[in-house]
Structure 1
Amino acid sequence: MTRCPPASGPAILRASNQDTVSQPRRTALRPSLGRRVATVAAAALIGIASALQPAQAQGGLPLVRDAETEELMRDYAAPIFDAAGISRQQVEIILVNRNDFNAFVADARRIFINVGVILDAETPGEVIGVLAHETGHITGNHLVRLRQALANAQIMAAIGVLLGAGAAAAGSAGGGAGAVTAGAGLAQRTLLAYRRGEEAVADRAALTFLEKTGQSAKGMLKTFSRFADQSLFSAQYTDPYSISHPMPRERLNALETLARQSRYFDKPADPALQARHDLVRAKLLAFTSHPNVVARAYPRSDRSLAADYARAVATMRTSSRREAVEAIDALIRRQPNNPYFHELKGQALLESGNPKAAVEPFRRAVALRPREGQLNIWLGFALVASNSNSLLPEAERILKAGLQMDPNSPIGYSQLAIAQGRQGKTAEADLSTARGLMARGDFRAAKRYAARAQKNLKRGTPAWLQADDIVSYNPPDFARQR
């Protein structure tokens, strides 16, 4: 997981610490309440804000960039967003490189979904149901309300601590401990009641969106049934999604009653969408699992396209370049106009040290999906890696086009900086490096490169203004990076 390929393709699964995104912090307690208050309040919040906590604990979320998977998620979500009255450009679906089943909204603009959701889902409807439910949270403005509920719960827990401290000071240590426990328990019960209400609202909203778009809720019920059953087991075995989205059996029964009233309940998945879903699952499994796992999931007797896709990826990861290219060429013969098969061939050639040979399959992928930024960045990467000065102007143009479509690609900016630097465009290269560092979240280094670029750019030009924006940028927590 140390290699740094372009910002596309599931090869990024092996560079998970490079693309991170900070998560919302819980409302802080007043410092004067002390560490004991914070501890009790945190205990009261267990299971309520759990979806936000792993990223906070690690400083960021490990993200996956894969054009094929992202395109499928956008196509799943597009009719849901339309039914919800949300612009398709308003909400971004971000893939998280974790295999557990989890999804959550961080704000009104982003839905985070773990790779594990896709790997576990046998049908498109299971993923679409999750996206519809999370969209219900966005349209219900639930995140803002949850933050207020968290703040209120912390206040309740803090009151319990203060009452306990007062009782202890009066000589009743047992009474003090009881007050602390009562405060934490009341906070937790209040949050659970709040969360159950909001989850039920999101359920109904999801059913409405599915009905408006003529889709079955059967997949959503299958997913939620899993978590209702998990409530029978110890919390240590419970999936994060079932903790942050509590699903008691009675709530599932009510949801199923409503879902079965739809005339679309028994409507099967679109075959073309199911086929794409199967390909993405196969690809993700092959990139994230040991080859033995792939072999068990897709035995040689399985001659489906998805099985061949998984085996081709596994071959690329474990065998010679010749064997990998042969396996991928077989895929291309079956689907010549699948851009992601050509992308995979280009990736196999590039990673095996033959960037010149990788250029042509990447060109074909871009020709099939010209508006896909990640594919353009792959092509630009191969052109730069070919070490031909005659290709640098084209590489610069293609990388700029790719970054216009996908402006959050650190690798795209780093390759652009190399192309510009080799052409003697030092100031432009420094600015591209700064923009890439900004995309990575390394604001201090970004400011340093932007300041250096600014000195050699003409004042008032677009490039100078971009550098000035970076130099002037101060995120809320920037002081801690100094």
Structure 2
Amino acid sequence: MSRAGRSATALLAAAAIFLGSVATPVQAQRGNLPLVRDAETEALLRDYAQPIYKAAGIPSSQVEIILVNNKGFNAFVPDARRMFINIGVILDAETPGEVIGVIAHETGHIAGNHLARLRQAASNAQIIGVIGALLGAGALAVGASAGSADIAGGGAGLATAGAGFAKRSLLSYQRGEEATADRAALTYLERTGQSAKGMLTTFSRFADQNLFSSKYADPYAVSHPLPRERLNALEELAKKSPYYDKPAPASLQARHDLVRAKLLAFTSHPRTVERAYPRSDKSMAAQYARAVVATQNRDGKAAAKIIDSLIRQQPNNPYFYELKGQALLESGNPRAAIEPFRKAASLNPREGQFLIWLGFAMVASDNPALLPEAERILKAGLQMDGNSPVGYQQLAIAHSRQGENAEANLATAQGLMSRGDLAGAKQYASRAQKNLKRGSREWLQADDILSYKPPKLRR
């Protein structure tokens, strides 16, 4: 697993589930969010999402799911092409259905075009607020000229009322969109023959957590329906489905358990992992968690021993080989890491992250004979997965060690772009372009970086 910043700007806007107040569009780069890259988790989420996308009539390649390294239970869609999911969603979810319900809800926002409509609603609310403020200012002016403090005070109150009405109008609109997304999620689950029980479990959790505070909350001053209200509205509909009591396939539950263990182990203190998976727990998920802890501790031998046991149980699981390679690489044995990474790539040749790991191990092995192959493998991996700063970093090293300085500068520029460092990327792209053949593919790639301008955010 590796963390990576990304360069694209985003409107981190409303359509975020389980938030108690409206989230206004703000300018942010992906690099401002603590993102996580993990091939296994991303593959699982894609498998959760694909049937939902199909049921919603959304092309399978349209929406990219992006993992956020935050243990809070939250997910949001800033636009029609990206869905951000906190790792906390997976860590808290005991069953696949709980995560699938979240994805279905967010897909409801995308399919319903709620984000564009929300921007229009926000614009309308802003207009209402401005009208209220203008009316208030006018009343204040009249009151001042007439010498009437009471009228002046009334004008200020009118301005405040206008702003308050605008806010409530927007919040009311957003609550309606949340309810619409809930109903859409039920429809998608029904169409795909899946139970909504996991989705209800998620809503029930939040209803219980908010039971006390919700008692005194103003339901018209929050952007989402109160959790218990949402739960009651959904439960009656969900239980009518013939799939309500249908559990997730055992194979999917097993994958879910492994990913939960992996994420917990990579993001928590070893003692936390040990409490969750005590030595008495002999499950595959527990073994996986212990292997990750050993990897984090740079104990390559201990990690490899546990992983070899996992491989004997699932010899065709590419993620076990990936973890073994990572354990060996991070414990200072890159040459031994090459073979496990190569095996992982052979089991899943369409996973770019495996190729990037393999190229990384080859470069780190400090064997000049491997550099040309490492370069080819890294380029292939980056072609499949272009959001890997580590991949570009290793490609730059491979080029540099072969005396290809212009290409090394270009790879560095591309890596900086993937991290969101536009100024640094332009600096290295300029250096690269001076020594590249004009009109060549590499020259054009450098020119793309130099001519790139961040998109202007809509207000």
Per the normalisation by structure 2, the TM-score is 0.90
CA distance in 2, matches of 1:282, 1:367: 25
Q: Which amino acid aligns with 1:106?
A: P
1:361 aligns with 2:348: no
For 1:348, the equivalent position in structure 2 comes to: 327
- Of 226, 233, 245, which aligns to 1:254? 233
How far apart are residue 227 of structure 1 and its match? 2.6
SS at match of 1:101: coil
Give how far 1:57 is off.
Answer: 10
Specify every segment of 5 or more residues in structure 2 that has no aligned partner in the other structure, as ranges. none
Which residue does 2:413 correspond to in 1? Answer: 434
Q: Which amino acid aligns with 2:160?
A: T
Verify the 8 A CA contact 1:227 1:247 in the aligned structure 2.
no
Q: Which residue does 2:121 correspond to in 1?
A: 149
Is the deviation greater in 447-456 or in 260-269? 447-456
Alpha carbons 1:20, 1:62 under 8 Å: kept: no
Shift of 1:252: 2.3
1:398 corresponds in structure 2 to: 377
- Could you tell me how far apart the structure 2 residues matched to 1:374 and 1:133 are? 29
State how far apart, in whole Å, the 2-side matches of 1:164 and 1:474 are: 41
Other structure's SS at 2:304 match: helix
SS in 1 for 2:83: strand
Q: What is the RMSD computed on CA atoms of the aligned residues? A: 2.5
Superposed counterparts of 1:228-377, under 5 Å:
228-234=207-213, 245-318=224-297, 320-377=299-356
In the TM superposition, what is the alpha-carbon distance from 1:245 to its structure 2 partner?
Answer: 4.2
* Counterpart for residue 11 of structure 2: 24
SS, match of residue 261 in structure 1: coil
| Structure 1 partner of 2:404 | 425
User: How many angstroms does 1:282 deviate by?
Assistant: 0.4
Identity %: 70
Distance 2:441 2:347 in 1: 32
Partner-residue secondary structure (3-state), 2:78: strand
From 54, 58, 63, give the equivalent of 1:91: 63
Q: What are the Cα deviations for residues 426-476 of structure 1, in whole angstroms up to 9, with x where unaligned?
A: 221111111111111111221122122222222222222111111111113
Shift of 1:168: 4.8
Residues in 2 aligned to 1:385 and 1:371: alpha-carbon distance in whole angstroms: 23
How far, CA to CA, are the matches of 2:173 and 2:223 in structure 1? 12
SS of residue matched to 2:349:
coil
Q: 1:244 to 1:297 in 2, by over 3 A?
A: farther
Residue 100 of structure 1 is aligned with which of 72, 82, 85? 72
Q: Please name the residue that 2:53 is paired with.
A: 81
Partner of 1:38: none
Contact 2:257/2:285 (8 A) holds in 1? yes
Q: For residues 342 and 381 of structure 1, do their structure 2 counterparts lie closer, same or farther at Cα, with a shift above 3 Å needed?
A: same
Q: Is the 8 A contact 1:343 1:365 kept in 2?
A: yes
Deviation at 1:230, TM superposition (A): 3.7
Deviation at residue 348 of structure 1 after TM alignment:
1.1
1:203 equivalent among 166, 179, 182: 182
Look up the equivalent residue of 1:23 and give its one-letter code.
A
SS of the counterpart of 1:95? strand
> Do the aligned partners of residues 104 and 26 (structure 1) sit closer, same or farther apart at CA in structure 2, a change above 3 Å counting?
closer
- What is the distance in 1 between the residues matched to 2:164 and 2:244? 40
Deviation of 1:181 (Å): 3.4
* 2:100 pairs with 1:128: yes
Which residue, out of 188, 192, 198, partners 2:167?
188
Distance 1:208 1:407, change over 3 A: same
CA deviation after TM superposition for structure 1 residue 166, in Å: 4.5
CA contact (8 A) 1:282 1:306 kept: yes
Report the CA distance between 1:184 and its aligned residue. 3.2
Distance 1:477 1:445, change over 3 A: farther
**Aligned partners of 1:20 and 1:63 also within 8 Å:** no
Structure 1 pair 258/110, CA: closer, same or farther in 2 (3 Å)? same
Q: How far does residue 373 in structure 1 lie from its aligned partner after superposition?
A: 0.4
Paired amino acid for 1:22:
T
Cα-to-partner distance string for 1:117-148 (whole Å, 9 max, x where unaligned): 00010000000011011111111000001111
Q: Give the conservation status (yes or no) of the 8 Å contact 1:224–1:247.
A: no
The answer (yes or no) to whether the contact 1:342–1:362 under 8 Å persists in 2 is yes
* CA–CA separation in structure 2 for the residues paired with 1:72 and 1:283: 13
Task: Work out whether residues 157 and 184 of structure 1, in 8 Å CA contact, stay in contact via their aligned partners in 2.
Answer: yes
Provide Cα deviations, 1:209-249, integer angstroms capped at 9, x if missing partner.
111111111111111222333443448xx9xxxx7643443
What is the number of residues matched between the two proteins? 440
Higher mean C-alpha deviation, range 351-360 or range 154-163: 154-163
- What's 1:47 paired with? 21
Whole-Å separation in 2 of the counterparts to 1:148 and 1:394: 52
Question: 2:43 aligns to what?
Answer: 71
- Decide whether aligned partners of structure 1 residues 21 and 297 sit closer, same or farther in structure 2, where only a CA change above 3 A counts: farther
Aligned residue for 1:113, secondary structure, equals strand
Match of 1:94, SS?
strand
SS at match of 1:475: coil
| Cα separation, 2, equivalents of 1:468 and 1:22 | 20
Q: Is residue 410 of structure 1 aligned with residue 389 of structure 2? A: yes
